Amino acid sequence: MSQPARPQTALPSRLRPTHMGAGFLLLTLLTLVGCVNYSLSLGYGATFLLAGVWAVTAGQAMRAGRALRIRLDAPGEVFAGTASALTGQATGLAGTPFEVRLGTVAATGHTPADAADYFVLTLPPQARGPLTLPRVQIAAYDSLGLWRWVQAVPLAEVGLDVLPPVIPAPEQGAPTPPTRRTGAAGEGVTRTAGSEDFSGLRAYVPGDSPRLVSWKHAARTGTLLTREFDAPAGTALMFDWADTSGLGNAEARLSRLSAWIGAARAAGLPFGLTLPGHTLPVAAGEAQVRAALTALALYPPLPAPLPVPKPPRIATVLPAEALRFTLFGLAVALAPGVLRQPVWVSFLTALLLGYTAFQTRSAQAQSVLPQLAQPKSARHKSARPRPQLRPLPSWLLGIAAGMAAVALNAEYGTLLGSEAGTALLGLLVALKAAESHNLRDARLLVLLGLFVTFTHFLHGQGPLVALHALLSVTLMLAVASAWVIPLTEQTPEHTEPGPLRTAGRVVALALPLMLVLFVLFPRPDGPLWQLPLQGRNQTGLSDEIRAGEFSDLARSNAVAFRADFSTGLPAPQERYWRGPVFEGYDGLAWTQARLRGASPSIEPTGPENAYTLTLEPNGKPWLLTLDVPTELPPGTFLSTAFQAVNPRPTSTRARYVIRGRSARLGVQESTERLNYDLLLPVGQSQRTRDLAATWSGLAPEARVQAALNYLQTGGFTYTLNPPTLPEQNRIDAFLFGTRTGFCEHYASAFAFLMRAAGLPARIVGGYLGGEINPDGGYLIVRQQDAHAWVEVWLAGRGWTRVDPTAVVAPARLNTNLSTALTRPNATSAAPISAFARLRLRVDALQNRWNDTVVGYNGEQQRSLLGRVGLGQVGAAPYLLALLGLVALALVPALLVARRTARPRDPAARALHDLSVRLRLPRAPGETASAYAVRVQQRWPQSSESLNTFLNAYHEARYSPDASAEQAQKLRGLVRKVRR
């Protein structure tokens, strides 16, 4: 009843990314573009980690595909119009996710260690005739499902070299078959095979019914013999094509004959078959049945093939445990957003993820409930299903997304900024999780979780952010491994390693490649496009000065910037960090002004100093510098007010190398600017004007000193909580009323006095002082160090710095803010506490992290390449080093793959090494003895050494006294077997 399969040739194997892998690659490219544009050094590391995962998993899929072996068992009988099944076995590297596809039919599974994984392929119904099967396609996946190794395999290579024909389906309720006499007349003269009288014993033939075997004789002699019976020839069954003439339809007639043959088989009766042009003599046994059914199956003319049905669309039910694991991974990825986004956003996100998680638990309990045995007293309660959380409808989720976008736009004033955008993204991810219902959605959540992890680099790149990114990426990759081919349960044959262990191993193998690319991948100096990240104001300085502005911000202990000097720390009285310059005054606020005119003069007076400025994100276009910069970073410039300006506001932590020196500024200044810096609002603070008019006859320096003496002797105090000043005559209210304030109060009043006395004056905003970190020898300037002072233009001296706050609270200049508030005239700060010392050590570690990781840019890369002799990026030594180090970084992954490919048992490992040595892999389920026979048939000269190895293998594998010496002996025998 079998027929040879159609010859097919093997197609070449190919490695290709899955849909998940293509999305993973697109995500990696997008994050790389974002890191280049926003100079996210830590983002480079995470992006290259994903690139390393991409490369490692490609090697995994390739190796798993080459080791995957599939064997299919042909179905016993296939009836026309009825679905049939193929049973298959898969062997390969332990835990390899695989897929076997036969046309539109597919089966998936995982290969267990040292065993074969069984699966079933259900074939669609076919018409009567030869069984036709498409080419078998096998695919092996990596542990994360990013790659698949695909190969189309001929049927002969998977054990389907002989296929049964498609038999006519037996007629249901077929009539009793007619009985004809065969042979000569007379019962005693002609007999034939039958079931009436015993006629003797014969040798057993495969296919004989077990009921006919003489088991007593077999138990006595050990040989299987079959009992034979006969009957008068006239009572034998003879099925004739003519007996079905009343049906008319050829297929119906064949179905009746098929039913009669089935009945004869069931009864164990002999029969014969007569078809037009073909006759089978009367006989019994399986061989007769197979011959008869084959004749019916191949009877011409053959019917038209049945149309190939489309695979049914089955609603996928996501495994609850894997879905909850996915929700946990998303929660970890979204967690840092709680520290910066509105409370209602965090609450809504947690509510959506929690509802989805409880919905999966409720659904799981609902499905298990009918299977639980309950006492009779509780049956009436279980008649009603337990309350179950229903999935949220799509229309409700859409309304929630729209309302959240409107609320966030009202909160931040935009949806394009980093804070508003990441908050909205987190909400959308939670909404997507709530409506996920298939594998595609689950895998999309993995990519979204990874993307959310990268958005945190826009807000910080500290060590804790790096640790969270590593944890989140590992966790999301573990989630990806759970969705490659989800298993609903673990059995002894399916003991794959946990997803966290799988993802951790892949990440560990990707780390060397990440380090190589982090150091050598080209770092552009500028962004790809100008799109600053909008966010809330994070600086201690504002675009204008109003009374009380700095008093609120001075309470912040956050770091504004760090300065590391290569030429020695400047003296405390020289630590004025220059920022924005305010020249316009309307009676309420001092603002910056853009004035045209000739550039003022700069006359250096002191030695040059060099320092590295690590600026925290502030969203403002200014750099903080000492004195006058003589060398600024590329892309920045010095304004006519001697303010260092960066056209691209700082949205991330940035490092700048600056050189500067003390100088006389603006000795030659434009008349337009000097006249502008004399303007005062009309009708404002007349008492102050009158006071300044009394000094108009003094020399310019004497006028400055007179104003300072007035502040020093007038009973003024320094405080962080000054009273509110009126909008009208604000300077009068301060100088002649409250007499208490913060730096901007004194700077504003002093500049007003100078202008009223006929001297051009303006206010300079910035920072004063800084805390020396003894562990690193650098200055830490915090937001509470924000300060304002005055510049007065004096003929022959130019713009001269005057700090009126220093005469009221000298400690503000010599010590720090806290000392100035408690002891205004102190000359030294109090000793730092143990907690403050610990905080400085932590900050020193943070600073080193900023220097080596966050601050690693194109300039540092070029310097490093020059020091090691690799030249510039793109040079031949650089390219050779890059290729060599990349290859070296992949060596650990190769070694681990080779190690995991070998079985754990020493004897099984030796047999595996033998198959690798001979380049002849074992077939699925093939025993060592069968494999040895196949090897000897191919290479007869290896018979002696192979037999010696086989005996030692059996002894080491199955002997209870196996020892390490036997395993070592086996390894030696493997080397003696030659092709």
CB atoms within 10 A of CB 407: 17
Q: Residue 182 falls within a domain, yes or no?
A: no
Asked whether the beta carbons of 495 and 132 are under 8 A apart, the reply is no
Residue 386 exposure: Cα atoms within 13 Å on the Cβ side:
14
Q: Say yes or no: 481 and 571 in one domain.
A: no
Q: pLDDT higher for 683 or 921?
A: 683
Lowest pLDDT segment from 46-60, 217-231, 403-417, 667-681: 217-231
Please compute, for residue 782, the number of CA atoms within 13 A of its CA located in the half-sphere on the CB side: 15
831-867 per-position pLDDT tens digit: 677 887 888 888 888 888 888 888 888 888 888 888 8
- Shared domain check, 590 and 627: yes
Q: 165 in a domain, yes or no?
A: no
- Is there a single domain that holds both residue 444 and residue 410? yes
Looking at the domain assignment, is residue 860 inside a domain? no
Question: Helix count (H) and strand count (E) of the chain?
Answer: 30, 35
Residue 625: other Cβ atoms inside 10 A? 25
What is the rounded average pLDDT of the residues 585-593?
90
Q: Is residue 345 part of a domain?
A: yes
**Domain stops at, among 783, 805, 836:** 836
d(CA 765, CA 747): 10
Q: Say if 38 falls within a structural domain.
A: no
* Cα 699 to chain centroid, rounded: 71
- Residue among 200, 196, 206, 192 nearest 238 (CA): 192
Q: How far apart are CA 244 and CA 328, in angstroms?
A: 68
Do residue 818 and residue 736 come from a single domain?
yes
Helix (H) or strand (E) holding 651: none
Same domain (yes/no): 941, 815: no
| Residue 225 identity (one-letter amino acid) | L
Q: Which of 798, 821, 836 represents a domain boundary (last residue)?
A: 836
Q: Is 454 in the same domain as 390?
A: yes
| Residue 822 shares a structural domain with residue 948 | no
pLDDT for the residue 474: 96
Of the chain, the percentage scoring pLDDT greater than 70 comes to: 83
Tell me: pLDDT of 962 over 80.
no
Taking the C-alpha atoms of residue 604 and residue 439, their distance in angstroms, rounded to an integer, is: 69
21-24 contact pairs (CB < 8 A, 24+)? 21/54, 21/57, 21/145, 21/146, 21/147, 23/443, 23/444, 23/447, 24/50, 24/54, 24/146, 24/447
492 pLDDT higher than 70:
no
**Comparison of pLDDT for 962 and 717, the residue scoring more:** 717
pLDDT band at 150 (very low <50, low <70, confident <90, very high): very high
589/362: higher pLDDT = 589
Which tops the pLDDT comparison, 51 or 683? Answer: 51
Q: What pLDDT is recorded for position 388?
A: 52
Task: Tell whether 181 is covered by a domain.
Answer: no
Burial of residue 670 (CB within 10 Å: 0-12, 13-18, 19+) is: middle
Indicate whether 699 and 626 sit together in one domain. yes
- Contact, 609 vs 626, CB < 8 A? yes
Q: Is the dihedral of CA 942, 944, 948, 951 positive or negative?
A: positive
Q: Which of 556, 528, 524 is nearest to 542 (CA)?
A: 556
By the 8 A CB rule, do 436 and 442 touch?
Answer: yes
Verify that 669 and 764 share a domain, yes or no: yes
Is the peptide bond prior to 463 cis by the omega test (within 30 degrees of 0)?
no
Tell me the CB-side half-sphere exposure of residue 10, using CA atoms within 13 A.
Answer: 10
221-225, 294-298, 847-851, range with greatest mean pLDDT: 294-298
DSSP letter string, 312-345: P-PPP---HHHHHHHHHHHHHHHGGGGGTS-HHH
- Number of Cβ atoms within 10 Å of the Cβ of 470: 16
The residue that leads in pLDDT, 11 or 717, is 717
DSSP 879: H
Q: Are residues 417 and 288 in the same domain?
A: no
Say how many domains are in the chain. Answer: 4
Question: In terms of C-beta density within 10 A (0-12 exposed, 13-18 middle, 19 or more buried), how is residue 920 classed?
Answer: middle
Examine the fold and report which residue of 786, 819, 836 is the final residue of a domain before the chain moves on. Answer: 836
Please state which of the ranges 427-441, 838-852, 878-892, 943-957 shows the lowest mean pLDDT. Answer: 943-957
Task: Judge whether residue 392 has pLDDT over 60.
Answer: yes
Kindly provide the residue ranges of all beta strands, DSSP E only, lying in 795-879, ordered along the sequence: 798-802
User: For residue 766, what are its two tokens?
Assistant: 């910035």
DSSP state of 852: I
pLDDT of the residue at 517: 94
Give pLDDT tens digits for 732-790: 999 999 899 888 899 999 999 999 999 999 999 999 888 888 888 889 998 888 889 99
Q: Is 739 left (phi over 0), alpha (psi -120 to 50) or beta?
A: left
The domain of 433 spans 320-369+386-486
As a whole number, the mean pLDDT across the chain is 82
- Domain assignment of residue 61, yes or no: no
Looking at the structure, do residues 335 and 292 belong to the same domain, yes or no? no
Q: What is the pLDDT of residue 397?
A: 83
Q: Is the pLDDT of residue 537 over 70?
A: no
At residue 382, the pLDDT reads 40
54 neighbors 146 (Cβ within 8 angstroms): yes
Global pTM reads 0.76
Average pLDDT over residues 55-72: 88
Domain assignment present for residue 890? The answer is: no
Q: Which residues pair with 200 in a beta bridge?
A: 228
Q: In this predicted structure, what is the pLDDT of residue 488?
A: 42
327 and 456 together in one domain:
yes
